[in-house]
Structure 1
Amino acid sequence: MSAPATMPQGAVGDETHERLERATAAFEPPFAVVDLTAYDANAADLARRALGKPIRVASKSLRCRALTERVLARRGFRGALAFTLPEALWLASDHEDVVVGYPTADRAALRRLAGDELLARRVTLMVDSVEHLDFLREAARPTPNLPLRLCLELDASLRLFGDRLHIGARRSPVHTPASALSLARAVADRPEFRLVGLMAYESQTAGVGDAPPGSPLRGLAVRAMQRASATELRERRAAVVAAVRAVADLEFVNGGGTGSLERTAAEPAVTEVAAGSGLYGPALFDGYRAFRPRPAAYFALPVVRRPAPDVATVLGGGWTASGPPGPDRLPLPVFPAGLRFRAMEGAGEVQSPLLGPAARRLRIGDRVWFRHAKAGELAEHVDAFHLVDDDRIVAEAPTYRGEDQAFL
């Protein structure tokens, strides 16, 4: 993947920089902020792109209960998509509809779920194999009087030439209508379970930008792949949903992500879509043609060294994103404009040298503002987000870390 570009100079960036500096003048970095104007604008745009279908909020991409609740209070958003069962149990104390987006092997959490009538009504588990059913039966000991709610995950990847070319995340082994029907029947044969949902996450369209900066030929290839994948998945998902509905009364069919909302929402078989990253607008979402989230989440680090006239070193900086290693997983320095990491050092755990024209103007104690490459992972580094409205801090929202929660 190509390296992220630095934020260009311009009135919009200058105005945002000035607002953030005024709002946070009393704070000592490191700290993180969320610009509520941008956050709310992103929420409105996501709802527009969802074509009237409800958006299930991916809590992994926020990791802040206050901001999750803020968006769920808006029209067009309904339910949460958690990333672990312990997180789902925690969220379910406030939310009536929480789907765990990934299978779980947490025996203690499963016993708690199966033994609590309220939680068992509010939380839905993800499965993709009979092996999962056997594990859940052994670990949770559910009963027909209080069945566990299950969601079947369909593999959304594009497979060509048999399985010799696999495009998309390696997730579920369930790929065909026949395999989905087989698993749905296995659930139906076990009265301690109830199949209520079906989910498919098309990572190759929802999570891959179709206009990578500086790589027009790669963009053409990505768009061709995404068109082929969307056409194939639309037909296959409809067939899978029809097959599963023959044996289960599905409450929802979930699909998509921030990068594919319009395309996925347009499928008749899909009843709801999922999104979360687009609310913060991280740097990896700068590479899409159809939409461009407004950057809403930033973090600031202090300049602590000037090892050379053209180098300014900030404290920390190694808040890198998960995924395939590459320059695009590094934080993006945005204010002041014109900064970049030193290629031989990158973003370090305790210090990060920055180069570029702006580095000559920075002094000890000045701040450098960054955007994270991804969304919710930023919350693992701070105890709270300072919420900015115009040029004022209006609230402090604790992150999961700030609420002493570490789920993964």
Structure 2
Amino acid sequence: MTGTLGDRLDQATRGLPAPLAVVDLDALDANAADLVRRSGGTPIRVASKSVRVRHVLERVLAVPGFAGVMGYSLREALWLVGQGVDDVLLGYPTVDTGALDALAADPVAAAAVTLMVDDVAQVELAARAAQARGTTLRLCLDVDASLRLRFGPLAAHLGVRRSPVHSAADARVLAAAIAARAGVDVVGVMFYEAQVAGLPDSSPAVRAVKRLSIADLATRRTAVVDAVQDAVGHPLTLVNSGGSGSVASSAADPAVTEVTAGSGLFVPTLFDAYRSFTPRPAAFFGLDVVRVPGPGFATAFGGGYIASGPATKSRQPRPVWPAGLSLTSREGAGEVQTPLRLSGDADLRVGDRVWFRHAKSGEVMERFEQVHLVRGTTLETTVPTYRGEQHTFG
């Protein structure tokens, strides 16, 4: 394969109007193979929020080593089941009573979808829907995988704020409450160690937190699983853990039956500093230069695709080709236009195309109705995103 990234993308998409989204299939396939290698035989569940393109989800699920989808919305899960996906674990709780009723009314969906819960109030909504339809809904307990440290009177919470269920005792109480209700059954538990999976290995302090977290979960996962199984009176079939940045360490725990990965397929800029794998960027978007406001500057149309999370520079898209481009500090990535500062030998003229990477993985696909799948300098196919199929799911 010859030519720079930008040359190849330009050639593959020549004649197509911008803004446009592209996935490099060579990088995508290599990233999928690397995830399978790092999982060491533990099945990988694909996080749909980090993809949001049904064709790509299906492509990845066809790769040996991948099994099932982690969805982010119950209505999304119902839609995916209708498209032939037979295993969807929700990554987040739902209070959508209409979708819960639709799930309970559909035997195929009820068998394929597992709901995520961490509170009796969520369980009660699912139980009511199930009891009204005379069925049983599958539940998974979301267990807080953050690292909690205490230094005398001081306490530290290292990780995201998700579930109130942290200890084996917490999990036992919730599992027992579910076991007392008709229409719902606990089939699994999930641990998302965001402080391991979602942070780059950028400093000795971060790496120390990761080591402590892995050691903590190595004992706490087993204790939680035992407590939940004891409370519900039967073995669990699902113990989910991890993310793209922690596939190997999560899969190494014998208690884990599956790991989740999504961002490791497209590899956005927030994953560039990871040491646990080799980043191969696979998703890009292209903008066209529409004016040159002065020496050393060019302005592209569109581009204000800011990632969720703390409003910092790391959440902005990054121009990657041609080399020598950067966002301006005063304007950043704009709603309708994005000014670019040129340095070195960079030279842009009206009509030139600039290629960017997004800070997060699937979010950028919400901005486009279709994505072009390229291999080398060839456009293999163009497929709809979720948005292009008239779905956003929040």
| TM bracket, shorter-chain basis | over 0.9
Q: Which one is further off, 287-296 or 335-344?
A: 287-296
Secondary structure of the structure 1 residue equivalent to 2:4: helix
Return the offset for 1:102.
0.3
Q: Distance in 1 between matches of 2:87 and 2:198?
A: 24
Q: Distance in 2 between matches of 1:111 and 1:242?
A: 31
Q: Distance in 2 between matches of 1:142 and 1:41?
A: 46
Q: 1:200 to 1:163 in 2, by over 3 A?
A: farther
**Which residue among 223, 226, 235 is the counterpart of 1:242?**
226
Q: Distance in 1 between matches of 2:164 and 2:66?
A: 29
1:324-362 per-residue CA deviation (whole Å, 9 max, x = no partner) reads 111110001000011111111111111111113268510
Corresponding residue number in structure 2 for 1:395: 381
**Which residue among 212, 216, 219 is the counterpart of 1:232?**
216
Scaled by the length of structure 2, the TM-score of the pair is 0.96
Give yes or no for contact 2:287–2:302 (8 Å, CA) kept in 1.
yes
1:220 counterpart = 2:204: yes
Secondary structure of the structure 1 residue equivalent to 2:49: helix
Superposed counterparts of 1:189-338, under 5 Å: 189-211=180-202, 219-246=203-230, 247=232, 248-338=234-324
Q: Distance in 1 between matches of 2:126 and 2:41?
A: 35
Return the offset for 1:145.
4.7
Give yes or no for contact 1:32–1:299 (8 Å, CA) kept in 2.
yes
Give yes or no for contact 1:51–1:265 (8 Å, CA) kept in 2.
yes
Superposed counterparts of 1:6-405, under 5 Å: 15-93=4-82, 94-138=84-128, 140-142=129-131, 145-161=134-150, 164-211=155-202, 219-246=203-230, 247=232, 248-357=234-343, 361-405=347-391
1:228-277 per-residue CA deviation (whole Å, 9 max, x = no partner) reads 11111221111111211223321110000000000110011101000011
Return the offset for 1:118.
1.0
Q: Distance in 2 between matches of 1:47 and 1:321?
A: 27
Q: Distance in 1 between matches of 2:21 and 2:5?
A: 14
Give yes or no for contact 1:336–1:358 (8 Å, CA) kept in 2.
no
- Paired residue total: 389
Return the offset for 1:137.
2.9
Give yes or no for contact 2:324–2:346 (8 Å, CA) kept in 1.
no
1:350-386 per-residue CA deviation (whole Å, 9 max, x = no partner) reads 1111113268510001011000110000110111110
Give yes or no for contact 2:332–2:338 (8 Å, CA) kept in 1.
yes
Give yes or no for contact 2:127–2:137 (8 Å, CA) kept in 1.
no
Identity between Structure 1 and Structure 2 (%): 53
Q: Distance in 2 between matches of 1:129 and 1:355?
A: 50
Q: Which one is further off, 291-300 or 245-254?
A: 245-254
Q: Which one is further off, 118-127 or 185-194?
A: 185-194
Supply the AA of the counterpart residue of 2:291. R
Give yes or no for contact 1:281–1:294 (8 Å, CA) kept in 2.
yes
Secondary structure of the structure 1 residue equivalent to 2:70: strand
Q: Distance in 2 between matches of 1:114 and 1:378?
A: 32
Give yes or no for contact 1:32–1:300 (8 Å, CA) kept in 2.
yes
Q: Distance in 2 between matches of 1:22 and 1:134?
A: 55
Give yes or no for contact 2:191–2:241 (8 Å, CA) kept in 1.
yes
Return the offset for 1:191.
2.6
Structure 2 unmatched runs, 5+ = none
Give yes or no for contact 1:384–1:398 (8 Å, CA) kept in 2.
yes
Return the offset for 1:51.
1.0
Q: Distance in 2 between matches of 1:28 and 1:135?
A: 46
1:211-236 per-residue CA deviation (whole Å, 9 max, x = no partner) reads 2xxxxxxx111111111111112211
Secondary structure of the structure 2 residue equivalent to 1:306: strand
Return the offset for 1:316.
1.4
Give yes or no for contact 2:141–2:186 (8 Å, CA) kept in 1.
yes
Scaled by the length of structure 1, the TM-score of the pair is 0.92
Q: Distance in 1 between matches of 2:318 and 2:222?
A: 40
Q: Distance in 2 between matches of 1:74 and 1:249?
A: 29
Give yes or no for contact 2:127–2:181 (8 Å, CA) kept in 1.
no
Secondary structure of the structure 2 residue equivalent to 1:92: helix
Give yes or no for contact 1:62–1:375 (8 Å, CA) kept in 2.
yes
Give yes or no for contact 1:279–1:293 (8 Å, CA) kept in 2.
no
Return the offset for 1:292.
2.1
Return the offset for 1:143.
5.7
1:164-201 per-residue CA deviation (whole Å, 9 max, x = no partner) reads 31111100000000110111111111131011111010
